[in-house]
Amino acid sequence: MAKYLTNSDRVLQSVLQNEKLAEEYPFNPSDYETVDEALQSDNYLVCTIAKIIEGKNEDKTDKQLYNEINNYLNGKI
């Protein structure tokens, strides 16, 4: 297992390593060891998870985070 730099990176890995999530969506968790790497992903699910983690880490309000994620997903889906 990789050595993660932050608690946010560990949270990201714990979510991405969920077996049910991996069954439904094609991605390799080992491709995204850090939140910064996940934020650059073309996979909208991986990037969305990273945005949520980053937003909570930056103390964004739920409304701010909702608007950011909603705008991002509307542009991707």
* 1-14 per-position pLDDT tens digit: 456 689 999 999 99
Average pLDDT over residues 46-74: 96
- Does a structural domain hold residue 2? no
CB 11, CB 29: distance < 8 Å = no
Q: CA neighbours within 13 Å on the CB side: how many for 14?
A: 7
Q: CA dist 47 to 37, 50, Å?
A: 9, 5
* 11-20 per-position pLDDT tens digit: 999 999 998 9
Total domains present in the chain: 1
Of 76, 53, 4, give the one whose Cα is nearest residue 33. 4
- Does a structural domain hold residue 1? no
CA distance 70 to 8: 21
* 19-57 per-position pLDDT tens digit: 899 888 889 999 999 999 999 999 999 999 999 999 999
Average pLDDT over residues 63-74: 97
- Does a structural domain hold residue 43? yes
Give backbone dihedrals phi and psi of 2, rounded to 5 degrees, phi first: -70, 160
pLDDT at residue 70, rounded to an integer = 97
Question: By residue range, what is the domain housing residue 54?
Answer: 7-76
